[in-house]
Amino acid sequence: MNRLFQLLLLFIHSCVSIHARVWNDTGTGTIVLEEAWTIPELSTQTGALNVSLQDIHNQRLTQMNENGIDYMVLSCASPCIQGISDPATAGAMAVHANNVLASQISNSTHRFGAFAALSMHNASEAAAELKRTVGELGFLGALVNDYQQSGANNDTLIYYDQPEFDVFWQMVTELDVPIYFHPRTNVATISTLLYAHAPWLNSAAQEFAATVSTHILGLCTNGVFDRFPKLKIIVGHLGERIPSDLDRIDTQLLSQLPLGMPMLLNVSTYFRQNLYETTSGNFATPLLRLHKETIGLERILYSIDYPFVNIPSGTAWVNGLDKVLTPKELWYLKRGGAIKLLKLND
């Protein structure tokens, strides 16, 4: 009986394992990495979006083929696990979602990769699940949807810029994988206070960037990058507005130094050493030019934000950049930067 059970576990394990990741650098198409997927248990979308989020091998793959996308990194649609306040439920759901994703892409690992979903209630448990998904499932890193909500009323917010998360960042550094910081919709307490007067500003127009940029600047000002100088964090939507405002941010933060701010360098420097941005859902050519100047093109990666943003609009934009970028720069934006950051050739 015991032996049978072991064999069963082994079988289940082999079903979800995608460790033998297939990748080779013979293609010329794009690589995109802020692309959402979900399972029925976690879906908050209705109608066509719900269907698109759960699909991988049908309309998603068809559009990838039609639009020259070689490789797509999938991650669990916001808020995913960050929307689950109960720690035990969150932990179990993260493992489940990761196993389902691994098994769904296991026959197409030359086209699809994955970022893990993580319960962030407990930093050591998050570290352990990251280690499992990278080591056993071949995942390329993780994507967190901003703060972890917690507590009976959902209004305890856990930020990963506190010292108790050092154990998590230590594991991230050891595994040498990037963590993507994706936005989320605020818990009711916050969104009522901030957006009830103008509810149209909920979600992508204002709320997302405003909320997640605070978390990212929290990592900077609390010295996380000083303690973990090799950390790689990816930020979507052309940097959630931060690189457009670096002058003012850096200048104003100087005045916080005498007040005990632990940050040793400045945000501009972290954007050249630790932070990467993608173009997901923000195809603004003038901004791309500015960011190329301020943070450097080697920090910028192409992405779309499917299915919230349609794939052909991304394709039209990125292909039109041949008027703005050299062929080598364009290759880096579309493909080369992702190969390097995700270590696809290693």
Cα–Cα distance measured from residue 15 to residue 11, given in angstroms and rounded to the nearest whole number: 6
Q: Which of 191, 244, 268, 315 binds ligand NAG (CB under 6 A)?
A: 268
Phi, psi values for residue 234, rounded to 5°: -105, 140
Does 345 engage in binding with ligand NAG (CB under 6 A)?
no
| Among 50-58, 129-137, 165-173, 335-343, the segment contacting ligand NAG (CB under 6 A) | 50-58
| Among 3-11, 39-47, 274-282, 298-306, the segment contacting ligand NAG (CB under 6 A) | 39-47
Cα–Cα distance measured from residue 299 to residue 288, given in angstroms and rounded to the nearest whole number: 11
Give the tokens for residue 93.
């759901």
* Torsion of Cα atoms, 136 then 54 then 83 then 116, to 10°: 20
Q: How far is the CB of 105 from ligand NAG (least distance, A)?
A: 8
Q: Which of 17, 59, 154, 214 binds ligand NAG (CB under 6 A)?
A: 154
Let me know: does 184 contact 158? Beta carbons within 8 Å. no
Does 273 engage in binding with ligand NAG (CB under 6 A)?
no
Cα–Cα distance measured from residue 144 to residue 130, given in angstroms and rounded to the nearest whole number: 11
Q: Which of 7, 10, 22, 316 binds ligand NAG (CB under 6 A)?
A: 22
Does 6 engage in binding with ligand NAG (CB under 6 A)?
no
Residue of 237, 219, 212, 231 lying closest to 309 (CA atoms): 237
Does 206 engage in binding with ligand NAG (CB under 6 A)?
no
Cα–Cα distance measured from residue 324 to residue 287, given in angstroms and rounded to the nearest whole number: 12
Q: Which of 2, 24, 255, 345 binds ligand NAG (CB under 6 A)?
A: 24
Does 138 engage in binding with ligand NAG (CB under 6 A)?
no
Does 110 engage in binding with ligand NAG (CB under 6 A)?
yes
Say which DSSP state 86 is in. Answer: S
Catalytic, out of 70, 146, 161, 305: 305
Q: Where are the beta strands (DSSP E) in the chain?
A: 30-37, 69-76, 112-114, 142-145, 148-150, 156-158, 179-182, 233-235, 275-278, 300-301
| Among 11-19, 20-28, 210-218, 273-281, the segment contacting ligand NAG (CB under 6 A) | 20-28
Q: Is 305 a catalytic residue?
A: yes
Which residues does the annotation mark as catalytic? 305
In the complex, the residues that contact ligand NAG under the rule CB under 6 A are 22, 24, 26, 40, 43-46, 50, 54, 57, 83, 85, 104, 107-108, 110, 122, 124-125, 153-154, 188, 250-251, 266, 268-269
